[in-house]
A and B are shown apart, each in its own frame.
Chain A
Amino acid sequence: MKEGFRQSMAWLHTWSGLVVGWILFAVFVTGTLSYFRPEISQWMRPELRDVKADANAAEHAIATLQERAPSSPRWFISLPEAREPVVRVTYRDPNGGEGRRGFKSVLLDPATGKEVTARETRGGDFFYRFHFELSMKPLWGRWIVGFCAMFMFVAIISGVITHKKIFKDFFTFRPKKGQRSWLDAHNAVGVLALPYHVMITYTGLVTLMFMYMPWGVQANYGDNREAFFDEALGVPAEVKPANQPGTLTNIKPLIEQAREHWDGANVAFITVNNPSDANSRIMIRRDNEHRLSTSNQSAEFAGTTGELLSLAGEPPPASQTRAVMFGLHMATFSSITLRWLFALSGLGGILMVASGLVLWSVKRAPERVKLGYTPFGHRLVEVLNIGVISGLPIAIAAFFYANRLLPVELAGRADWEVRTFFAAWLLSFVIPLIRPARADWTTQFVAGAALFAALPALNAATTQTHLGVTLAHGNWVYAGFDLTMLGIAALLALTAWYASRTPTSRKPAKRQAVEVSGLPAEAERA
């Protein structure tokens, strides 16, 4: 750090990257999975196989809600979409619900409005929440992920500064050369998806920026944050009930009217305020498909008369910038092809973080040779590397296994799926503690590959949504999931094969040590 600018940046890149690398790896993996949140949720509820979107879904949902929860102060209706064709309604349960403030969520069949019964599972939502909360208390998890994301951004920028020859580096790959190969691989995956990494890290911070950096709002609004959200993001103020009964008008013409304003775009979400009151409000929200911005495009109607009260248009520049950044991060706008490109870039990020972590260990191999033993710090990094990088795939597979194998009627079933996930992950840390490192990389990648490879078979044995059925019926949500699992298995198998033949980082070959010491310029760059 005492040397020039580039050396100090190399130092900063190494250490800021190492400190948060393990959490970033998990954040990258679960974030990439979250691109497919609806598909994962769908696969984890095989009972919903034959549920289909329906043009009258909103009407049916409202009829059901009128019967079940007329006194709820608010109804939330999430309409079916191609990727998860089921209706989700949330209302305050008169008998007391388990959710926040007595609210309860139920899945409905779009065609009938009847509740569908599916196994209790968190589905893709588990990965989505883990991505920014790490299954911790929301406040803790979000701050830790934000802290790591900030480090990541610093690591990316200092990484770019470190590379004078960034373009040339990208086209440089010297395989089978130990440390140099790791460095080249780290550079290649890092630079290949660099615009994506910069974008996804910054926009990720932006999604929670009012929590991380409340000072800009504080400066102009003090503690009156509601006023800010109202003014800046168009979150409408609540409407007081008239305390006189009222009947809701038919929703269908309102939806048609709203869609006309949006050039025929679909409706994603409906909120009904004071549904059984004379002063009811129906808020219809546009979906964000084919739309980069996630700004709130909604139409508000008087509930009893169906009169259009307000129509949220395009927001001012800063607000729109935030909404576009949000949209870029969530990738809800994208077609399936583009979403896969995002996922591949996410995979690039996963590989970048993983190779960076391994590189730290590999680079210090000569030091271990010189010392004649493995210092505690090195061993710690090694065990954490193995547990996190090769263990997380095992934990994810275990989560899917639990979904298929746990009895459907088990109480607290969704929680047991999550417990299985963490139990499997914990095991992947314990095993490398008691065994030599090289064997462990290979064993755990092989285990991960085997688990993913067998998942479609398990699916076939336990459900009617297996490849034999889904491929024949062109049901691509289920079929795509199974095929992707096979793809992940192949990827892990390839990694296992590679790990089994790479010289271990613990006992480096002499040749490698010589090579490293002969390349001071290379070494300092990492």
Chain B
Amino acid sequence: MASLTASYRLAVASRALAAILGGYALTALAITALAIFLPMSRAEASLTATLLSFLIYTCVVIWVFATRSATRAWLGIIAPMVVLGALVWLQRLAS
């Protein structure tokens, strides 16, 4: 095992945080959007979105650890959150 520098440890901690908390937040927003926009009855849409949530979460976590840097990982979490958040917000305004 190579010696672990402080910056390496920090990068790992940052990614872990991005994966666990950022990943959960992104998943929560993604299933909110799915539940709203899926063309089904609202009960079925809520259920479908919730059933898919753990799959989405897993993909996000894997991506966070696979991408080149911790900064990219955070960007990759935040950017789709902004887009999804805007969509959900616009829909709330419209209804």
List A residues at the B interface (Cβ < 8 Å).
1, 5, 8-9, 11-12, 150, 153-154, 157-158, 161, 202, 205-206, 209-210, 212-213, 215-221, 228, 231-232, 316-319, 321-322, 325, 367
Contacts and interface: CB of A to CB of B under 8 A. Distances in A.
A228 B33 CA distance: 17
Contact of B32 (A153, A158, A209, A215): A215
Given A205-B54, A219-B49, A221-B42, A213 B62 contact: no
A158 B49 contact: no
Contacts of A232: 43-44, 46-47
15 contacts: A1-B12, A9-B62, A150-B58, A157-B62, A158-B62, A210-B50, A213-B50, A215-B31, A218-B32, A220-B42, A231-B43, A318-B43, A318-B45, A318-B48, A319-B47
Contact of B65 (A8, A216, A219): A8
Contact of A153 (B11, B41, B44, B58): B58
The range of chain B's interface size is: 35 or more
Contacts of B50: 209-210, 213, 215-217
A125 B46 CA distance: 31
A200 B11 CA distance: 32
Interface string B14-40: 010000000000011101111110001
Given A216-B34, A219-B32, A9 B65 contact: yes
Chain A to chain B: the 10 pairs with minimum beta-carbon distance, closest first: A216-B49, A232-B43, A216-B50, A318-B47, A219-B35, A220-B42, A231-B43, A215-B28, A216-B35, A219-B32
Nearest to A213: B53
A318 B65 contact: no
B93 interface: no
B30 to A, nearest CB: 9
Given A1-B15, A219-B33, A321-B51, 5 more contacts: A1-B12, A216-B31, A231-B42, A317-B44, A319-B43
B53 A216 contact: yes
B44 A213 contact: no
A382 B86 CA distance: 49
A228 B46 contact: yes
A213 B65 contact: no
Contacts of B28: 213, 215
Contact of B53 (A154, A209, A218, A367): A209
Contact of A157 (B36, B42, B58): B58
B51 A318 contact: yes
A12 to B, nearest CB: 5
B51 A8 contact: no
Contacts of A212: 53
B90 interface: no
B77 interface: no
A325 B50 CA distance: 13
Nearest to B50: A216
Contact of A206 (B43, B51, B88): B51
B44 A154 contact: no
B44 A8 contact: no
